[in-house]
Amino acid sequence: MPPRPLHALALPPGPRVLEAVAAAIDGGPAVLPLDPTASPAVRARQLAALRPQALVDADGVHRLRGGADLDEDVAVVIETSGSTGTPKGVELTPAALLHSATATLSRLAATPGQQWLCCLPTHHIAGIQVLVRSLVAASTPEIAPFDVARLGTSSADFVSLVPTLLYRALEADVDLTGFQAILVGGAPSSPELLRRAADAGARVVTTYGMSETGGGAVYDGVPLSGVRVAVDPDGRIRLGGPVLATGYRLAPELTAAAFVDGWLVTQDAGRIDPVGRLHVLGRLDDIVLSGGVNVSLLEVAQVLGTHSAVADAAAFARPDPEWGQSVVAVVVPRRPVPTLVELRAFVSDRAGAAAAPRELVLVGKLPTLPGGKLDRSALSQLGPSTAP
């Protein structure tokens, strides 16, 4: 068979994207969804690196020069890291996408015809998977950008969110009880956020996965049907099974490093408890060495989030001449505004002295990427301490 063409989609979430994804799964042109609001410089970098044969936008289909062949088994290419470095294209087959969607619907006890709300960007795997699940369920998704008020009035049965969007909904007292399940992934959810959601009657299912696994592959710590999970001696998580991507487009060295012997070698740290549940401890580069002690920035953020004067929190590390790296707490405060001394004692008591932040930055809201995930690059650029 001839190689399958790859069409870049510079389209807003909507019926045209859904139709293109459905056609790709059925054997039509593969699709490379791109952010329709990206700057010309970012778009040019993406097209140069991933070399689709055509660009589809609101004005139609535009043929491109320099397009590269695509394996006939690939249906969707998800672009990652394009705004901060060299774009990578994760290649996903129809089989991987459909297995993930079918396993998800089974895990959620979904019935044919039940509807999904698609409020995440469809140039990310989470948004694409909502569309694929809708195709498998033979239902028409409700597609609309995230809006707190709309979330509370949606008639959909299921929705996927990132933790930041769930937090905003809870802060706005949105009624989330109408959803049969709310998938929350893309970043770790703090215990406090999950407790608040449960108290509000929301049925939250935490998910762990990435573009390379076709979206969420582990739900509430339990792998989806067919998915394999292992943790290396150094704490690194590996994932395997029929949901895996085939590799990175036009990047054989990156593919060989990440996909090894049927496993995806992730950049995340985790552990498997005695009953077999996976606990994700954060990215390996979120484990920092401060004063000779390993500190999990995720744990610091989670502990901060349980303080009564903290509405939301994150943590990062700065180079420190004395400690090697020092922890910086970034906090969205409640009243009364907490002090650094107060938060240091609070974290030290619950996570150990090495985890206690040495700086405090107060912000109105945490910096996020367009899809709602925490913007770690922007976080690390925040200024010096704003509190004693």
Q: Would you say how long the chain is, in residues? A: 388
Highest mean pLDDT among 158-172, 243-257, 278-292: 243-257
Percentage of residues of the chain with pLDDT beyond 70: 97
Q: Which two tokens stand for residue 227?
A: 């998915």
d(CA 309, CA 325): 26
Mean pLDDT of the chain: 92
SS3 63: strand
The predicted structure's pLDDT at residue 160: 97
Residue 308 dihedral angles phi and psi, to the nearest 5°: -65, -25
The predicted structure's pLDDT at residue 164: 84
Strands 88-92 and 76-80: antiparallel
Residue range 184-205: mean pLDDT, rounded = 91
Q: Is the pLDDT of residue 167 over 80?
A: yes
Strands 287-290 and 278-283: unpaired
pLDDT-derived band at 352, boundaries 50, 70, 90? confident
Q: Is the pLDDT of residue 385 over 70?
A: no
List Cβ neighbours of 75 (8 Å cut-off, separation of 6 or more).
Answer: 24, 25, 30, 31, 92, 93, 94, 97
Greater pLDDT, 369 or 247:
247
Q: Give all domains of the chain, ordered by start, each with its CATH number.
A: 95-244 (3.40.50.12780), 291-380 (3.30.300.30)
pTM: 0.81
Q: Is the pLDDT of residue 84 over 60?
A: no
Q: What are the pLDDT digits (tens) for 96-124?
A: 999 999 999 999 999 999 999 999 999 99
Greater pLDDT, 384 or 281:
281
